Structure 1
């Protein structure tokens, strides 16, 4: 089976060429303790039987400086595409987005509204100042990864999807649904969002580990989510090296949890969705 890792991070050893500039001023623990270079990522992918990967900007190490993911994707276009972090609140955000894409440029962008170094969920991603950014993303057909937590901010997500139905939004880690508390309730809450055709889900170890813990109840989450979105709007990502496990272990975890899905669905989640979202992968892949 074909595998594309839709969510992994790289960090250079060259601090001169690629200085640290973490968003919020605080480097994440994983970026400091277990960084992986682009070369290291290729080696891990080869070990794991993963042909291609989406390099998602390590925002908690580089902030808005996308140089390393861009340089790495340019050096190995047959293996990587780059997703960079941008500030959509800037007055020139739309123009900056146009300039950042194209040949050798970004294949997608990421908005970082919460995380280990930004614990409070920001809701600025639907502020009027961001509207030119979203309009430009729709014109460019550029996927926007949204790192956010479902809950109080879900209403802002829905407003965004209704206001800009042409934008492709990838919800990183599926928005951290509370699978541990109730797989069925979490599945129903995520499934409600499936009516928004521009919304895609990024399934990572942060969800898969909770589903593994849920055991037989994992299907209570997966079944309604896959039914509502279809496998064609779900993409698997390892989250290496933020995830502590090795890449072969992360792939095995995903295969274990998704083993009950039809083969067609698994092919979509493991590669097909990512290739449609990021056409340059298809240009170089199988």
Structure 2
């Protein structure tokens, strides 16, 4: 099957491109097989700045999906693009990748202020994909734009080699002082040197949950359907088992918040 959406990439020095499709219907089948009701679709780095496929999929299946797009942080007209995607195509926010830009702090770039103002005016959501050394950028924008809900992707990549002091991870934990920052506890297995339930990462998971509180923790996974395992991620079944069995210190209430209740509060759902 040929690609059904444009492929990029959108990131500097990022050359990875998919050679097989992963469509919304494949994801829906995976969700149905594992009892997952709703999903936030996030535009990938190899899908260009054209967010139409994820936007159209969320519009087509409003009871199951909402969408998050990409915006070029180096485009001086990106405010106009943000308004278009949010107002015309129901995209609820955008993902940025500070770690892809070595010579500029993209979140602090003055030319991006109109864009962030437009997102804030629409109570948008911004998720940030980066490393602990970029935490200062998120610290800056979370204060400057309190009307934006900010999400930390993949816990900002703690690594077991940071133990036992975890000093290198402390700038991330300190971001919890901003009430408008949430954290996605995800991609745990890819950081771990061990097998399920990836115990060498439990310390970082517990620190993140303790710092932000369970009400600001979000669950996230990777590719749809068989592409999860094909690309080195856990299957959806195993992702759920990690939370329900591997994170055995979480209460039933904690699990419910982490696995969906918190996401239902943040994004605007059709029902």
Question: What TM-score bracket applies, with the shorter chain setting the length?
Answer: 0.7 to 0.9
Give the corresponding residue for 1:250: 239
Give the corresponding residue for 1:10: none
Unaligned runs of 5+ in 1: 1-12
| Structure 2 CA distance for partners of 1:182 and 1:38, relative to 1, 3 Å | same
| Structure 2 CA distance for partners of 1:257 and 1:131, relative to 1, 3 Å | farther
RMSD of the alignment, in Å?
2.7
User: What is the CA deviation profile of residues 214-267 of structure 1, one whole-angstrom value per residue up to 9, with x for unaligned ones?
Assistant: 966655333332222111111101122354332212222233332211222211
Give the corresponding residue for 2:121: 139
Q: Does 1:20 align with 2:1?
A: no
Q: CA deviation at 1:25?
A: 6.9
From 259, 262, 266, the equivalent of 1:277 is 266
Q: Does 1:59 align with 2:45?
A: yes
| Structure 2 CA distance for partners of 1:134 and 1:207, relative to 1, 3 Å | farther
Aligned counterparts of 1:121 and 1:243: Cα–Cα separation in 2:
30
User: What is the CA deviation profile of residues 10-60 of structure 1, one whole-angstrom value per residue up to 9, with x for unaligned ones?
Assistant: xxx443x5232211374426x33x642111111111111111111110122
| Structure 2 CA distance for partners of 1:279 and 1:94, relative to 1, 3 Å | same
Q: Does 1:73 align with 2:58?
A: yes
| Structure 2 CA distance for partners of 1:225 and 1:266, relative to 1, 3 Å | same
User: What is the CA deviation profile of residues 74-102 of structure 1, one whole-angstrom value per residue up to 9, with x for unaligned ones?
Assistant: 22111111111012443332232122114
From 196, 210, 235, the equivalent of 1:227 is 210
Q: Which moved more, 1:175-184 or 1:154-163?
A: 175-184
Give the corresponding residue for 2:80: 95
Q: Aligned to 2:40, what secondary structure does the other structure show?
A: strand
Q: Does 1:161 align with 2:142?
A: yes
Aligned counterparts of 1:121 and 1:237: Cα–Cα separation in 2:
29
Give the corresponding residue for 2:28: 42
Q: Which moved more, 1:240-249 or 1:81-90?
A: 240-249
Aligned counterparts of 2:86 and 2:159: Cα–Cα separation in 1:
35
Give the corresponding residue for 1:85: 70
Contact 2:153-2:183 within 8 A present in 1 as well: yes
Q: Aligned to 1:109, what secondary structure does the other structure show?
A: strand
Contact 1:143-1:167 within 8 A present in 2 as well: yes
Q: TM-score, normalised by structure 1?
A: 0.80
Contact 1:108-1:144 within 8 A present in 2 as well: yes
Unaligned runs of 5+ in 2: none
User: What is the CA deviation profile of residues 166-185 of structure 1, one whole-angstrom value per residue up to 9, with x for unaligned ones?
Assistant: 22111111111223431651
Contact 1:121-1:148 within 8 A present in 2 as well: no
| Structure 2 CA distance for partners of 1:218 and 1:175, relative to 1, 3 Å | closer
Q: Aligned to 1:173, what secondary structure does the other structure show?
A: helix
Contact 1:183-1:221 within 8 A present in 2 as well: no
| Structure 2 CA distance for partners of 1:277 and 1:14, relative to 1, 3 Å | farther
Aligned counterparts of 2:263 and 2:91: Cα–Cα separation in 1:
15
Contact 1:161-1:167 within 8 A present in 2 as well: yes
| Structure 2 CA distance for partners of 1:219 and 1:137, relative to 1, 3 Å | same
From 219, 229, 249, the equivalent of 1:260 is 249
